[in-house]
Amino acid sequence: MSDIPQITDSHCHLDFPDFDGQHGDIVARAVEAGVTRMVTICTKLKTEPAVRAIAEAHAPVFYAAGTHPMSAASEPMASVEELITLAQHPKFVGIGETGLDYHYTAESADIQKQSLRIHIAAARETGLPLIIHARAADEDMVRILREEHANGAFSCVMHCFSSSPELARAALDLGFYLSMSGITAFPKSSDLRDIFAAAPLDRILVETDAPYLAPPPYRGKRNEPAYTAHTARRAAKTFGIEYAAFAAQTQANFERLFCKAAQYEAAA
């Protein structure tokens, strides 16, 4: 184990039904693959207790909570105060995921924007990183992130980034991070890999978004945190460096952005 480079799955969904009754095995396989830390993401605040329970039960698991943009119109609107209260938990390390998704839910764009700004305010107040989902909404996303950052700084990761070079550049210019999912390992994702290759290496994270988007050789199957290693190995080639060096850099990046997780581990 000691010679396996350590990495972090910065975004997964361990509370989804795909993993029911299997959390111990899922975490064990991740650790065996060198994925020694996972952040499981709550997408509807009513499920926060279940997500929190998974983090409490497994030492390598941290969590974040927010309202996914595709659920913004069907779920109660979160409040800044509610998110700040949730953030008091020692293993709660991020705000979201939140964001804008006009691919399937463009009709709720106005509600999504309102929800996004609430989550940004909570990130600003707590000092925890914002976790952004962006799909088919690049123009509005760039505008809102710039406006809100001008109103007061906050940190952020563009989770599962697969948008335009323009959104990538705008996010990086604000000091934000880009996260590489299994999509970046797909054979036909060369344009997306080019976007990442042009980004600073010290602003890169890796993730699974499990149970979705499994990288080769598991594409089309259920994804799980252990497979972060496959995405990260392909990502190292994108940056032209050895896997161990890439893993070490993304670990440092994660600990810089998700500093509450690093502080928790240091105190444990």
Average pLDDT, the chain: 97
pLDDT tens profile 222-245: 999 999 999 999 999 999 999 999
Half-sphere exposure of 1 (CA within 13 A, CB side): 8
End-to-end CA distance of the chain: 21
Q: Domains in the chain and their CATH numbers? A: 7-267 (3.20.20.140)
Q: What is the pLDDT of residue 2?
A: 58
pLDDT for 94 equals 98
pLDDT of residue 119: 98
CA-to-CA dists, residue 61 to 9, 70, 133, 201, angstroms: 10, 25, 21, 25
Structure tokens belonging to residue 230: 């496959």
**Would the pTM count as exceeding 0.85?**
yes
Query: So what's the pLDDT on residue 79?
Result: 98
Average of pLDDT values for 161-165?
A: 97
Model confidence at 268, pLDDT cuts 50, 70, 90, reads confident
Round to whole Å and give the CA distance between 44 and 11.
15
Residue 27 has pLDDT above 70, yes or no: yes
pLDDT level of residue 3 (50, 70, 90 thresholds): confident
pLDDT digits (tens, 9 = 90+) for 70-124: 999 999 999 999 999 999 999 999 999 999 999 999 999 999 999 999 999 999 9
Question: What is the torsion angle, in degrees rounded to the nearest 10, for the CA atoms of residue 35, residue 265, residue 3 and residue 204?
Answer: 50
